[in-house]
Amino acid sequence: MMFVVVRLARALLTILIVVSFAFVVLRLSGDPALAILTNEAPPEALLAFRQSWGLDQPVLVQYLTYLRTILSGDLGVSMRDGRDAFTVVAERIPITLAITIPALVISIAIGVTAGICAAFNPNSRLDRGIMLAAVAGFTVPSFVLGLLLVLVFSVWLGILPSGGAQHWTNAILPIVTLGVGSAATLARYTRAALLEVLDRPYVRTASAKGVPWRLTILSHALPNAAIPMVTILGFLVGQLIAGAVVVENVFSWPGVGRLLVASVASRDLAVVQCLLFFVAATMIAANIVADILYSLFDPRLRASTHGGGA
């Protein structure tokens, strides 16, 4: 119970910091009125804006007003679009999820499997090959990989479309590009975590007792190895979000990432701010899920190691 309360408190603190960050950055941007309304707006509109935002008030009052505005759900109006910023962002979220969730699933499947294969044959050519591929997957920028895939599959081979979102085949290349980075990270982590666990005495004992190979893995090694993997869940989600920004641009996929870049380029601050909060909320949720999973794994493990350990 205490645990949940502490986690929620930390989450609230992080949200507060994100909102404050947005406020600070907004103030640093010069005159927010000009920034949000642009200097084509008539002077009366600028004046009205300043008053409604309380820009003539001392900074602390502005901060509190800002907090109140945000927390009441008023996230501003998109400059380019004219509509409510929240709606503009929210309608694109499913489109982004359409590539990020499959990418996450695929990267877990491939990355974990690769890590397991590598861990079971340490220092073999398979292992070294997988690790090199993992490092490459991690360091080759996603836009490079994406463009290469477009080059190969769209331009040279012509079997996949290069952009847009008209057809489900449009999603293949973005998903692959997104998944590679996360798969590489997972492969490295899984391998390291498994290697550490496989070296433990109780695993060797089980193996020496003649317990079938797969049984040893499933009941002992994997759950233990799952813990470090759960701890990087937050990092993976962050990696996917950042990756989505670039990948959606490479493939002209009309999701949240494309929106973000376009909004930054046109300085549509209301939308950028809204996106910032969405991302923060997603990351906080991901971390809380990771914490819950972590605590779920732990007691189970405590029970099983005491029961079956050496």
Partner 1 sequence: MSDAVKQEEQLGMEPRRLPSASICCAIGWLGLLLALGLFGRWLAPYDHTAIDLLDRLAPPVGFGGSFAHPLGTDELGRDLLSRLLVSIQMSVLIACGATLLGAILGTLLGFLAAHVKGAVEQAILALVDFQATMPFLILALAILAFIGNSLVIFMGLLALHGWERYARIARGLALSANTQGYAGAVWQLGASPARIYLVHILPNVMATLIVSMTIAFPEIVLVESGLSFLGLGVQPPATSLGSMVGNGRDYLATAPWILIIPAATISLMALSVSLVGDWLRDRFERTGLR
Under the rule (CB under 8 A), what is the footprint of partner 1?
A: 10, 13-14, 17-18, 21-22, 25-26, 28-29, 35, 120, 122-123, 127-128, 131, 135-136, 138-144, 147-148, 150-151, 155, 192, 195-196, 198-199, 204, 234, 238-239, 241-242, 245-246, 249, 260-261, 263-265, 267-269, 272-273, 275-276, 279-280, 283-284, 287
Q: Which is nearer to partner 1, 141 or 303 (CB)?
A: 141
Q: Which is nearer to partner 1, 3 or 300 (CB)?
A: 3
**Least distance between partner 1 and beta carbon 299 (Å):** 26
Element (H, E) at 77: none
Pairwise CA distance, residues 24 & 20, whole Å = 6
Q: Which is nearer to partner 1, 158 or 299 (CB)?
A: 158
What's 219's DSSP letter? I
Q: Which is nearer to partner 1, 122 or 212 (CB)?
A: 122
Number of H helices, E strands in the chain: 15, 0
Q: Is the distance from CB of 114 to CB of 130 less than 8 angstroms?
A: yes
**Least distance between partner 1 and beta carbon 263 (Å):** 7
Q: What's the longest Cα–Cα distance across the chain? A: 84
**Least distance between partner 1 and beta carbon 122 (Å):** 5
Pairwise CA distance, residues 64 & 83, whole Å = 25
**Least distance between partner 1 and beta carbon 300 (Å):** 25
Paired tokens of 207: 């193996």
What's 253's DSSP letter? -
Q: Which is nearer to partner 1, 28 or 42 (CB)?
A: 28
**Least distance between partner 1 and beta carbon 121 (Å):** 8
If we measure between CA atoms, which residue out of 183, 153, 203 comes closest to residue 243?
183
Reduce the DSSP state of residue 160 to 3 states and report it.
coil
**Least distance between partner 1 and beta carbon 57 (Å):** 20
Reduce the DSSP state of residue 176 to 3 states and report it.
helix
If we measure between CA atoms, which residue out of 168, 151, 169 comes closest to residue 160?
169
Paired tokens of 97: 């999820």
Reduce the DSSP state of residue 222 to 3 states and report it.
helix
> Where would I find the H helices in 84-171?
85-90, 93-120, 125-139, 142-149
Q: Which is nearer to partner 1, 251 or 303 (CB)?
A: 251
Q: Which is nearer to partner 1, 183 or 302 (CB)?
A: 183
**Least distance between partner 1 and beta carbon 105 (Å):** 20
